[in-house]
Structure 1
Amino acid sequence: RGDAVRWAGQLSGTDQLILFTEHGYGKRIMGSIVDTQHRGGKGVRSFNFGKSGGQIGAFTAFHESRNFSVLQKRGELTTMHTDEIIAQSLSDKGKPYVLAILDNTVVSIVL
């Protein structure tokens, strides 16, 4: 119920994925810890939202360290570097990086 595919692709062992929830929590995941899903697979759960009902707001895969900006619904951009985002496991909660208050949610990552 309410699940959706937000990204589909193949990550190599050296690739990384940055994810942000709509409420500004982010984390960096190493490609080597994400198992390839086969036909009929259920995907990979990257955040456990529980009763909060949150969703993934933005994501990007990258090969090398770089700058990027997180875009919010009202147009605010928060500029960061990939190395600022703490590498975590799939089961970790993430850390707050973007102040997303009320309906000014995270909507995209601008490279």
Structure 2
Amino acid sequence: MKENKLNDVVIQNEIKTNKRQILKNNIEEKSNKSNNNDLLKYKQSLYIIRKSINLLKHHYHNRLNKTNMLRLREKKQLHYLKRKNIILEDKCTFYSEHIDELKKIFT
């Protein structure tokens, strides 16, 4: 009888500790997801910047060599990256203009 009660108490304690661990893990996962999202945004912006620089470099290199033709794919990609770059510049100017307000929000 006593053994059964002891076993029940041990099992209940294990369940409680498992629930606590699950809650801790969930909280950690949520914070990791937000960090990963920020990291992903930075990676995407760096990728866009790098690709646009390469395309512009090739474009000007072609101009210097008197070849005005870029491949159609490169033209489309250049247009796309210019558009993305404008969006990034807009975001940067917005953040720089409102940096004090953002600091107040996040601190």
TM-score by length of 2: 0.18
Query: Structure 1 or 2: larger helix share?
Result: 2
Query: Structure 1 or 2: larger strand share?
Result: 1
State the structure with bigger RCO (CA 8 A, min sep 6), 1 or 2.
1
TM-score by length of 1: 0.18
Larger Rg, first or second structure (1 or 2):
2
